[in-house]
Amino acid sequence: MKFFQSNFFRLYIFTGTLFSGAMILHGIVRTGEIVPSVLTGVLAGMFFGTFFGLSMDKFVAKRTKEFSAVKEQLSEELTIIYDGGANLYVGPEGVGGWLYLTDEALIFKPHKFNIQTEKARVLIPIHTISKIEGYESMGFIHNGLRITTYDIVYEFVVDERSTWIKLITLYAS
């Protein structure tokens, strides 16, 4: 049962379904034949869903290990309340990294596979946060976290959005 709740399985289903749908539509438009297009689309979706899911699972495991060292270093100076993988939007780019909530600040550390790593290093003192809200990334995925300070709005994409909102609200009040 744990397998069906894993990130790999969710990525497999999501990417496999999207890719299958795209391949089926492409096949039908290109050839006009439904049955071969559906078969090709489903098989391609299963293959690429598996490949993408496994690749992302390995990538996330590597980043988790990388940021656990950062967490250890931060915890020498600060009390870490909660942390997890996140993306921060810097202009059009979703900069990947790790978000830390401490008793004093919200800290975002980008990983090295980004273009705008310097612009994305963010430290938001808790007392400057004026509004915390969820939003739908891509217009329909319930994983957006919007943090508003006195003068800046930060948009993150996180897992466990409701936990982030609850904890930041608790420490910001």
Domain residue spans of the chain: 3-66, 78-172
CA 43/CA 91 separation, integer angstroms: 37
Q: What is the pTM of this model?
A: 0.69
CA 147/CA 128 separation, integer angstroms: 10
Query: Which pLDDT does position 44 carry in this prediction?
Result: 83
CATH class of 78-172: mainly beta
Average pLDDT, the chain: 83
In contact, 145 and 155? CB cutoff 8 Å: yes
Query: Which pLDDT does position 3 carry in this prediction?
Result: 47
Query: Which pLDDT does position 111 carry in this prediction?
Result: 80
Dihedral pair phi/psi, residue 160, rounded to 5°: 55, 50
- Considering just the CA atoms, what is the radius of gyration of the chain in Å? 19
Query: Which pLDDT does position 132 carry in this prediction?
Result: 96
* Structural tokens at position 109: 């550390």
Task: Band the pLDDT of 7: cuts 50, 70, 90.
Answer: low
The number of residues in the chain equals 173
Nearest to 158 by CA among 131, 124, 134: 134
Q: Cβ contacts of residue 158 below 8 Å, gap of 6+?
A: 84, 85, 86, 99, 143, 145, 164
Nearest to 95 by CA among 154, 164, 148, 40: 154
Hey, is 111 helix, strand or coil?
coil
pLDDT (tens digit, 9 = 90+) per residue, 113-122?
666 666 677 8
In contact, 84 and 107? CB cutoff 8 Å: no
pLDDT (tens digit, 9 = 90+) per residue, 54-105?
777 777 677 777 777 777 777 788 889 999 989 999 888 788 889 999 999 9
Residue with the larger pLDDT of the pair 36 and 16? 36
